[in-house]
Structure 1
C-alpha cells in the first residue's frame, strides 16, 4: 500500500491523536450538544489533519503554506470550543489541560512547517 506524503508528517500524526482525544472527550457531553459543541469540536479537529493532507497535494509552497495556515486556524477553533466546554463544565480540568497541551504542540509544529514551506 502506498504511503502519501502527508502521512509522513509528524504534525499530521499528532493531529490524528488530537481527533481521537476530542472524540473521546466529547462522547461524555450532554446529548443536547450533539448538534452543537460536539459536532463543532469534532469537525474542527478533523479539519486540522484534512487541511494538512490537502495542502500536500498543492504545487506551490505558497499554496502549501496556505493550507497549513488553515490547519492552524482550525486548531484555534478547537481551542476556543474546548475553553467553552470547560466553562460549561463539560470537560474536566485534567482533560482540558491534556488537550490544550496537544493543541499547543500541534500549533508550534504548524508554525514551523509553515515557516519552512515559505522559505523553500
Structure 2
C-alpha cells in the first residue's frame, strides 16, 4: 500500500474538486441532476480512484485504478468544454480548470509509466 497523500497528482486532483464545487452552484437548476451531477461524480472520481488504487496490494491493481482516474479526467475535460459552450462557465474558469485537467492527465500518464517500468524491471 502507498500513501496517496505523497502523490502530487492526488493533491492537484483534490484541489480541482474543491475548485469545481463552488462553480457548480452557478449552473441552472435544471442541470442539477444532469450535467452538474455528472461533473461532480467525474471530478470526485479522479482523486477517489487514486486513493482506492493506493489501498490495493499490488502495483498492477494501483495502475488499473490510475487508468480509471485518467478516464475520469478525460471525462471532466469534455464536460467543462460543454459547460463553457453552453455558457455555464466563463473563459477564465474554463481555462483554469482546463490547465489543471491537462496537468492531471500528464501526471497520471507519467505515474502509470513509472510504475509499469518498475513492474517490468522486476519480471
* Structure 1 Cα separation of the partners of residues 101 and 3 of structure 2: 22
TM value normalised by structure 1: 0.93
* Structure 2 Cα separation of the partners of residues 57 and 16 of structure 1: 17
Matched, 1:11 2:12: no
TM value normalised by structure 2: 0.91
SS at match of 1:34: helix
* Structure 2 Cα separation of the partners of residues 8 and 69 of structure 1: 18
* Structure 1 Cα separation of the partners of residues 115 and 6 of structure 2: 16
Match of residue 108 from structure 1: 106
Flag structure 1 segments of 5+ consecutive residues without an equivalent.
none
Flag structure 2 segments of 5+ consecutive residues without an equivalent.
119-123
* Structure 2 Cα separation of the partners of residues 117 and 63 of structure 1: 11
Matched, 1:39 2:37: yes
* Structure 1 Cα separation of the partners of residues 6 and 87 of structure 2: 36
* Structure 2 Cα separation of the partners of residues 118 and 60 of structure 1: 12
* Structure 2 Cα separation of the partners of residues 101 and 36 of structure 1: 24
How far has the Cα of 1:60 moved from its partner? 2.0
Match of residue 59 from structure 2: 61
* Structure 1 Cα separation of the partners of residues 56 and 112 of structure 2: 14
Counting helix residues as a fraction of each chain, which structure ranks higher? 2
Match of residue 79 from structure 1: 77
* Structure 2 Cα separation of the partners of residues 119 and 57 of structure 1: 20
